[in-house]
Each structure stands twice: as C-alpha cells, then as structure tokens.
Structure 1
Amino acid sequence: MIIYNVTTNIHESVHEKWMIWMQHKHIPEMLATGKFSSARMVRVLIEEEMGGTTYSVQYTADSKETLQRYYLENAPALRNEALKLFGDKMLSFRTELELISEH
C-alpha cells in the first residue's frame, strides 16, 4: 500500500474557503479518480514561523503504479485548480510513503 501525503500550509485569509473546498470538492474529486481508496485529513500540531495553519492529507493507493497513473492522468488539472483558487496563499509539498506494517 502507498500513501500519497500532501502537506499544505494555508494562509489565514483564505483558510475557511480552503477548508470548505478541500472537504467538499477537492478530496471528493481525488477519490473520484478511482486511484485512491481512502483519504484522511489531519492538522499538523506545530506553529509555523510563517504563520498560517498546516494540514496533511493522506490518500491511500494500492500500488506505486496506480499513483503514477494519477500523476499522469489527473494531477495536473487538480493541482492547477488549487493554484488558480489559492495561489501564493498556500504552500504544499508531497511525500510518497510505503506502508510496511500496521499494529
């Protein structure tokens, strides 16, 4: 199992709009690609020097190949929408994680 983790710091001025968009549009659209079986959104419990609030959204894919298909088929449009809506009010980075075991 692969976890596609997207960590985003969002500026206070667009925080509420971003949260609504994430929970009611973006995450459902990510799941609708058929590449991910689940998603989990969590708040990162640190205070950023730059301000804003940081969140991590973890999408579960069955394989690295499925994640690669997402990158090719879906990622550009979904990322562009976020940039268009929130621009420099958000800063994101992505991490790929492989699940080794659960206890």
Structure 2
Amino acid sequence: MILYNETVNIDNNVAGEWLQWMKEVHIPAVMGTGFFLNNQIARLINEVENGGTTYAVQYYCRSLVDLEEYQREHAPELEQRHLKRYEGKFVIFSSMLEVVASDVERPSKP
C-alpha cells in the first residue's frame, strides 16, 4: 500500500475556511477519482509561530502505479483549483511512502 502525503502550511487568516473547503470539496473530488481507499487530515500540534497552521492531508492507495496514474490524469486539474483559490496563502510539499507495517501491536507484558 502507498501513502500519499501532502503537508500544507495555510495562512491563519484562511485556515478555517480552507479546512472546510478541503473536507467538503477538495478531498471528495480526490476520492471521487477512485484511486484512493481512504484519507485523513492531521494537524501539526507543535506548530512554530509563522502565521500559518500546518496540516498533513493523507491518502492511501493500492499501488504506486495507481498513484502515478492519478498524478498524471487528475492531480494537475485538482492542484490548479487549489492554487487558484488559495494562491499566495499556502506552502505545500508532497511525499510518497510505502506502508511496510500497519496497526503494529505492543507486546503484552509478562
């Protein structure tokens, strides 16, 4: 499984509206492409004061092939919508991770 992570620092003046738009518009559009199994949004707790709030928007997909097809066929349009709406108000970087273990349990105490 592949985890596609987009870390976004969004200007505090629009952070609330951005989060709502992500939940109601952007993420449903990404999920609607059919390439991802699930998603989550996490907020950075130990934020450095920089006038913004940092979120990790994460999508899980079956394979790197699926992710690459999504990036070719759908990502440019979706990224352009995000840029047009929030231009100059965010910084973003993306990463692709291979999930090598999930839900690993702590060993029981003897």
Matches within 5 A, 1:57-68: 57-68=57-68
The alpha-carbon deviation at position 49 of structure 1 amounts to 4.1
Larger helix percent: 1
**Which stretch has the larger CA shift, 42-51 or 23-32?**
42-51
The alpha-carbon deviation at position 13 of structure 1 amounts to 1.2
Return the alpha-carbon distance in structure 2 between the equivalents of residues 16 and 49 of structure 1: 17
The alpha-carbon deviation at position 46 of structure 1 amounts to 2.1
**Which stretch has the larger CA shift, 20-29 or 46-55?**
46-55
1:46 correspondence with 2:37? no
The alpha-carbon deviation at position 50 of structure 1 amounts to 2.3
Return the alpha-carbon distance in structure 2 between the equivalents of residues 101 and 50 of structure 1: 34
1:96 correspondence with 2:109? no
Aligned to 1:73: 73
Return the alpha-carbon distance in structure 2 between the equivalents of residues 22 and 76 of structure 1: 16
The alpha-carbon deviation at position 77 of structure 1 amounts to 0.4
Return the alpha-carbon distance in structure 1 between the equivalents of residues 6 and 61 of structure 2: 13
Matches within 5 A, 1:19-30: 19-30=19-30
Unaligned runs of at least 5 residues, structure 2 = 105-110
Unaligned runs of at least 5 residues, structure 1 = none
Return the alpha-carbon distance in structure 1 between the equivalents of residues 29 and 48 of structure 2: 28
